[in-house]
A and B are shown apart, each in its own frame.
Chain A
Amino acid sequence: MTNNDDLAQNANLEPKPGEKKEMKTQTTPHSLADVASSREVKQPGTKPLGSGLEARGVHAWFGAKHALKDVTLDFAAGTVTALIGPSGCGKSTFLRTLNRMHEFIPTAALAGEVLLGGKDIYASGTDVTKIRLRIGMVFQKPNPFPSMSIGENVLSGLKLSQTKVSNKEDLLEECLVRAGLWNEVKDRLSAHGGSLSGGQQQRLCIARSLAVSPQVLLMDEPCSALDPGSTLRIEDTIRELSETMTIVIVTHNMQQAARVSDYTAFFLSDGGPGEMIEAAPTSRIFSSPQDKRTEDYVTGRFG
């Protein structure tokens, strides 16, 4: 990177006052920018959601391969941030460093800090299971637990993390309602999770991660295996969830990034380690990106 200072500025995702006005007056040929600017940019800190997540100078390695270089990015509480970029640019790796799933890959290594509520989740003495309880994750492929029914799947997090809840029935319904699945499964909660369609299974997985009430939800291309209808349902779900939690979503679908996210970070690898090129409010990424490479990518000129 040539201009690290610029990056750091972009990484600081505070939209400047009066910015929205500017965007509306802008005439832009990009339809994605229209999509993005039609959404209201969420001002961070307006809701009492606790603190967000902050990545500070995160590097990641697999063996000798430097996969991710110096990413600094804030995720303000109650916002949706999309991570975009071509395959192999390190965005999924970055996502997995945010809840310490990165370390399950043999030979993985890491540098930098990830702060949750101001505390480094990689600090020694940190109980990693508590971290993952507060930072949930939804995976690319729907993966309901095969030995459990729909209802058991939703509540499995409680058992797995030994969390006690007073009213399981209510929690079950609440999680399924929030994941947009309640009406479809309320009559067959004891059916097998595998009997659902792919889109329903993914919403079941979202409901499952909601049951332990995380502050942050990480989503790794949650719609890449789904049809457009299911994708829209999940995007609705994401928007509703962002009322109460911070969401980070990796996506290859730029329409999706434009539709659901408040902020977008663009990652790129030029053969070396992946780097974050630019991070800004989503409408700005799609209408007036600062970096030429971002512009090329979001306008479909490469990638």
Chain B
Amino acid sequence: MKTVTIKPGTPWEPTAKERGQKTLNLLIAVAISFVLLYSTGLNGKLGWVAAFFFSYVSVSFIAEYRRAGKPAAQDSLLTSISRFAIFLAIIPIVSILATVVSKGWRGLHWGLFTQDMSEATVNSPIQEGGMLAAIVGTLIMVGLALIFTLPIAILTALYLTEIKGKFARPIRFLVQAMSGVPSIVAGLFILSSIVYPVTGERSGLMGALALSILMIPTVARTAEEVLLLIPNDLREAGLALGATQWRTVAMVVVPAVKSGLVTAVILGVARVIGETAPILLVSGGGDATNLNPVSGPMGSIPFYVWNAFLLGGSEESTQRTWAGLLVLLLWVLILFTIARYISSRSQKR
């Protein structure tokens, strides 16, 4: 008797021949794009990209039309256009990352994290001075802003999704509108409503307040979105067990979206960590490390970058600018990675 061994396969994957055809299409498109580049008025990188786009879309459209007819051709048209859109969207992101990393890494040194700029100027040799004041300032201000934002934003989201009070609609509208408020407006608001009439002094606390104004709508909206994902069944199950609404929310609803709320908070932090304008207006910015949020100017990473760029002019100050940008970018990247990790882990459950 013959034994038939059955192997797992993937018969839906394209065959080698089909893959060859695809590659061929791509090569033909590249060839046509160069022909177009030299035979028409198009020139430069941008001209080539445009020529390649049109030739690739038409080549794959014709190839699919010949292979499988009109519906398949339309399908391939949409596929190639969306691929191209993704390509265009990624260019600036990759370009920014590459530029910042390539120009910034040479400015990195341990002193960045242990020294501040009180003894050095932006034009001093790169080994002198560092970002300690800026990093500490950013941590204090963003941390305080988080403490102010967290209860307000989460409770706002709970009002909109759980209590559904009379004012839910106008408040939802206001929160959405507030997320579009330019950051300089938030800074000016704190400046004119608190700094000038009350404290008379710029400080880290004022910076934190301005950042909270920007952070609250972001966190509240994201938290509302995740709360809306909770099926109503769960709320009813809690209430049917003889719980008050408050206990149902605290013990059933909020634990069920815990990771979503963490994501909301991290997105809020990422939203404000790079803000420069309100910090400049209300926290003053400073070169010396200041641990006291209620008195004296406080620096921040965006302020450090702005300062080095504006007051410099030397090679050292340019290098400081790029190194500062790199450190800021790393912070944001770390936060987004954590957010992605937490939300993907919650989806698995």
Complex Cα distance, B236 from A137, in Å, reads 9
CB distance from B182 to the nearest CB of A (A): 37
**Binding-face segment, A39-47, A158-166, A169-177:** A158-166
Within the complex, what minimum Cβ distance (angstroms) separates A258 from chain B? 27
The answer to whether A212 and B242 touch across the interface, beta carbons within 8 angstroms, is yes
Q: Mark A129-151, 1 if CB is under 8 A from B, else 0.
A: 11011001101010101111000
Q: In whole angstroms, how far apart are the Cα atoms of A162 and B239 in the complex?
A: 13
User: Given A145-B256, A147-B256, are A162 and B247 also a contact pair (CB < 8 Å)?
Assistant: yes
Judge whether A104 is part of the interface by a CB distance below 8 angstroms.
Answer: yes
B252 part of interface (Cβ distance < 8 Å)? yes
User: B236, A101: Cβ atoms under 8 Å?
Assistant: yes
A141-B233 contact in complex given A132-B239, A157-B241, A157-B242, C-beta closer than 8 Å = yes
A132 closest partner in B (C-beta)? B242
CB proximity of B348 to chain A, nearest CB, Å: 11
Contact A146 B239 (CB under 8 A): no
Contact among A147, A163, A209 for B255, CB-based, below 8 A: A147
Mask: chain B, 249-293; 1 = CB below 8 Å from A; 0 = not: 001100110100000000000000000000000000000000000
Query: By the criterion CB–CB under 8 Å, are B234 and A136 in contact?
Result: no
Tell me if A205 is interfacial: C-beta within 8 Å of chain B. yes
A205–B258 CA distance with the chains assembled, in angstroms: 22
Q: Please tell me if the beta carbons of A209 and B241 are within 8 angstroms of each other in the complex.
A: yes
Bin the interface of chain B by size: 20 to 34
- Check if A194 is an interface residue, CB within 8 A of chain B: yes
A160 and B236 in contact, given A194-B349, A212-B242 (Cβ under 8 angstroms) = no
Q: Does A287 contact B (CB under 8 A)?
A: no
Query: What residues of B have a CB within 8 angstroms of the CB of A59 in the complex?
Result: none
Whole-angstrom CA separation of A199 from B49 in the bound complex = 57
A143 and B241 contact, CB distance less than 8 A: no
B21 vs chain A, min Cβ distance (A): 45
Closest residue of chain A to B258 (Cβ to Cβ) is A147
Bound complex: CA A212 to CA B238 (Å): 12
A148 to B252, CA, bound (A): 9
**A130 CB to closest chain B CB, in angstroms?**
7
List of B residues within 8 angstroms of A129 by Cβ: 242-244
Interface centre among B237, B242, B252, B255 (most CB of A within 10 A): B242
Q: Which residue of chain A is the closest to B250 with respect to CB atoms?
A: A160
Q: Does A233 contact B (CB under 8 A)?
A: no
Is A178's CB within 8 Å of the partner chain B? no
Asked whether, in the complex, the Cβ of B252 is within 8 Å of the Cβ of A139, the reply is: no
Chain A interface: which size bin? 20 to 34
**B234 and A130: CB pair below 8 A?**
no
Q: In whole angstroms, how far apart are the Cα atoms of A141 and B237 in the complex?
A: 11
Contact with B along A106-135 (1 / 0, CB 8 A): 100000000000000000000001101100
Cα(A146)–Cα(B346), bound, Å: 11
Decide if B237 touches A143 in the complex (CB within 8 Å).
Answer: yes
Give, as a whole number of angstroms, the nearest-CB distance from B252 to chain A.
Answer: 5
Q: Which residues of B contact A104 (CB under 8 A)?
A: 236, 239
Q: Give every chain A residue within 8 A of B255 (Cβ-Cβ).
A: 145, 147-148
Give the docked Cα–Cα distance between A130 and B237 (Å).
Answer: 15
Tell me whether A160 and B247 are in contact in the complex, defined as CB-CB below 8 angstroms, given that A129-B242, A132-B240, A143-B231 are known contacts: yes
Contacts of A146 in B (CB 8 A): 234, 256, 349
Decide if A203 is an interface residue (CB 8 Å cutoff).
Answer: no
- Does B248 count as interface, using CB distance less than 8 angstroms? yes
A145-B242 contact in complex given A104-B236, A139-B233, C-beta closer than 8 Å: no
A55 shortest CB reach to chain B, Å: 18
Contact residues in B for A194 (Cβ distance below 8 Å): 349
Give the docked Cα–Cα distance between A107 and B287 (Å): 60
CB nearest neighbor in A for B248? A160
The smallest beta-carbon distance between A190 and chain B, in angstroms, is 15
Residues of chain A within 8 A (CB-CB) of B256 are 145-147
Residues of B within 8 A of A160 (CB): 238, 241-243, 247-248, 251-252
Distance (whole angstroms) from the CB of B82 to the closest CB of chain A: 35
Binding site for B on A (CB under 8 A): 99, 101, 104, 106, 129-130, 132-133, 136-137, 139, 141, 143, 145-148, 156-157, 159-163, 192, 194, 205, 208-209, 212
14 contacts between A and B (CB under 8 A): A106-B164, A132-B239, A133-B241, A136-B241, A139-B237, A139-B240, A143-B234, A145-B237, A146-B234, A147-B258, A156-B241, A160-B248, A209-B240, A212-B241
- Seen from chain B, the residues whose Cβ lies within 8 Å of a Cβ on chain A are 164, 231, 233-234, 236-244, 247-248, 251-252, 255-256, 258, 349
Beyond the given A139-B240, A157-B242, please list 5 additional residue pairs across the A-B interface where CB-CB is below 8 A: A136-B240, A139-B237, A145-B252, A146-B234, A160-B238
